[in-house]
Amino acid sequence: MDVQAGRDRPRVLIVTPQPFYEDRGTPIAVQYVARALAEIGVDVDLLAFPIGREVKIKNVTLKRCANLLHIRRVPIGFSWKKLVLDASLWTSFSKLLALRRYDMVHAVEEAAYIAAAICPRFGQPFIYDMASAIPVELQRQPLLKSRRAQRFLRSMERWVFHRATRVVCSPGLGRYVHNQAPDAPVTEWRFPAQLPHVPRQETESLRERLQIAPDRRIVLYSGSFAGYQGIDLLFEAFVQARRSNPELLLICVGATEPEMAAWSKRTPKELVGHVRILPRQPRERIAAYIELADFLALPRGRTDNVPLKLFDYMASGKPIIAMRQAAYAPLLDQTRAFICDPTPEALAQAIGRACRSPEEAHLMGQASLRYAHRQFGWGRFVDFVRDTYSKSIFTDREGSRLSRAS
């Protein structure tokens, strides 16, 4: 392996086309990866958009691309703002490769397409960190859902698969990658399920601030309000569920200010006073909301991957109500969650069943918690990252240089 002269520690470049750091799925996952790499003895350069909080991680150097248009916020999904910053990211990415040799580039989402274009020029291997199937995601755009556009996007995706040293994808996407590129080495992420302990007084204080009566039973949704999350479906189901369970209260955490205003107007009259739309919260506060909840809702109607919050949900020990999805099958079954078809009627029935069967709900939550502790501890995640990188580049004629985590 060609290692930079005078340097004993491996060096990895993570390129992520998102704000960093923000409390949302991909930036959280990127932070996990950076921490794990640093823990196993890797120096990390992390190149991200010029937006987000500054965070300090030992042995991780945060770098940002230029922001010529002074963009302050990038919405989730496809947008002109993301395209502009992707172009800037491309320029910064190229400059870094020209200046320094990395043992590996870790390219997240569409940054892998940039990596596929420029890394071979520098003899630079890269891992494709695949949070979602980009052609599938872009089907939501009118101009990109045509058959011709999709053929082109899928051919581009296969090109990236074949150029990558390895594809590491969200749980549930491994089969998709294999179908598109059978020879591509692929591994599914096993993210850590970790939730900090929340003191009882903190939960009680939150209940008081939100003015929630002691007899209310709370269904919680946390996450973005993007269309694919299924908020519409959840609202429809909740209208039906409350008719037989009037004590229910729905709390949805994670809206932007415009989304809060829009959803306040869209809330059915019969749910006024029974639904709380709350703004996005720092990640460290989400644990208190989860602890406050009686049930945790995962209303995505169609998905090819597993949202990161599911690992937190499982680590809480609270009963989960989720749609029946092939992507969830490795994590959730009928003993660890209330699984239902992706319809408002089926979701309403699942919520009702959870309300009527408190003992069953408790057992499911505990089964989910035990499974999360066995399979998704931080140590297991660090080992997963080490093994993934060892398979990719760090095992050569000199052996692996990656240290064991303490």
Verify that 298 and 364 share a domain, yes or no: yes
Taking only the tens place, the pLDDT of each residue in 14-53 is: 999 999 998 888 999 999 999 999 999 999 999 999 999 9
Confidence of residue 399 (pLDDT cuts 50, 70, 90): very low
Ordered alpha helix ranges (H), 42-197:
80-99, 111-118, 134-138, 147-163, 174-180
In this structure, are residues 274 and 235 in contact, taking their beta carbons and an 8 Å threshold?
A: no
Antiparallel, parallel or unpaired: β 166-169 and 126-130? parallel
| Segment (H or E) for 11 | strand 11-15
Is residue 78 included in any domain, yes or no? yes
Confidence of residue 209 (pLDDT cuts 50, 70, 90): very high
Q: Which long-range contacts (CB under 8 A, 24 or more apart) does 270-277 make?
A: 270/239, 270/242, 271/235, 271/238, 271/239, 271/242, 274/238, 274/242, 274/248, 274/249, 274/250, 275/235, 275/238, 275/249, 275/250, 275/251, 276/210, 276/249, 276/250, 276/251, 276/252, 277/252
Verify that 388 and 350 share a domain, yes or no: no
Of 380, 281, 232, give the one whose Cα is nearest residue 24: 281
| Domain around 100 | 11-192+377-394
Verify that 30 and 159 share a domain, yes or no: yes
Is residue 51 included in any domain, yes or no? yes
- Among 45-54, 70-79, 231-240, the range scoring the smallest mean pLDDT is 70-79
Verify that 242 and 329 share a domain, yes or no: yes
In this structure, are residues 125 and 105 in contact, taking their beta carbons and an 8 Å threshold?
A: yes
Which percentage of the chain shows pLDDT scores above 90?
72
Domain count, the chain: 2
Is residue 255 included in any domain, yes or no? yes
Give me the mean pLDDT over the 206-212 stretch: 95
Number of H helices, E strands in the chain: 14, 13
**Unique residue bearing structure tokens 């997240």:** 108
What tokens were used for 299?
């209303």
Verify that 230 and 358 share a domain, yes or no: yes
Verify that 75 and 130 share a domain, yes or no: yes
Please report, in angstroms and rounded to a whole number, the separation of the first and last CA atoms in the chain.
Answer: 26
SS3 319: coil
Is residue 402 included in any domain, yes or no? no
Give the C-alpha separation, 182 to 176, whole Å.
10
Verify that 157 and 91 share a domain, yes or no: yes
Give me the sign of the Cα torsion angle 117, 119, 125, 130: negative
pTM for the structure as a whole: 0.82
Residues whose CB is less than 8 angstroms from the CB of residue 211 and which lie 6 or more positions away in sequence, other chains included? none
In this structure, are residues 379 and 189 in contact, taking their beta carbons and an 8 Å threshold?
A: no
**Unique residue bearing structure tokens 């095992």:** 395
What tokens were used for 273?
């006073």
Confidence at residue 403, expressed as pLDDT on a 0 to 100 scale: 53
Is residue 4 included in any domain, yes or no? no
Is residue 404 included in any domain, yes or no? no
Residue 3 has pLDDT above 50, yes or no: no
Give me the mean pLDDT over the 321-348 stretch: 92
Of 191, 219, 383, give the one whose Cα is nearest residue 305: 191
Residue 396 has pLDDT above 70, yes or no: no
Give the C-alpha separation, 312 to 331, whole Å.
12
Give the Cβ contact number of residue 45 at 10 Å: 18
Taking only the tens place, the pLDDT of each residue in 213-228 is: 999 999 999 998 888 8
Q: What rounded mean pLDDT belongs to the chain?
A: 90
Is residue 153 included in any domain, yes or no? yes
Verify that 154 and 31 share a domain, yes or no: yes
Verify that 16 and 144 share a domain, yes or no: yes
Verify that 159 and 207 share a domain, yes or no: no
Give the C-alpha separation, 180 to 387, whole Å.
24
What tokens were used for 272?
């006024």
Antiparallel, parallel or unpaired: β 166-169 and 186-188? parallel
Is residue 284 included in any domain, yes or no? yes
Residues whose CB is less than 8 angstroms from the CB of residue 355 and which lie 6 or more positions away in sequence, other chains included? 217, 241, 245, 248
Verify that 174 and 286 share a domain, yes or no: no
CATH of the domain at 144: 3.40.50.2000
**Unique residue bearing structure tokens 């109607």:** 301
Confidence of residue 395 (pLDDT cuts 50, 70, 90): very low
What tokens were used for 312?
């937190």
In this structure, are residues 338 and 350 in contact, taking their beta carbons and an 8 Å threshold?
A: yes
Verify that 211 and 179 share a domain, yes or no: no
Confidence at residue 224, expressed as pLDDT on a 0 to 100 scale: 87
DSSP string, 107-135: EETTHHHHHHHHGGGGT--EEEEESS-HH
In this structure, are residues 76 and 101 in contact, taking their beta carbons and an 8 Å threshold?
A: no
Taking only the tens place, the pLDDT of each residue in 78-117 is: 889 999 999 999 999 999 999 999 999 999 999 999 999 9
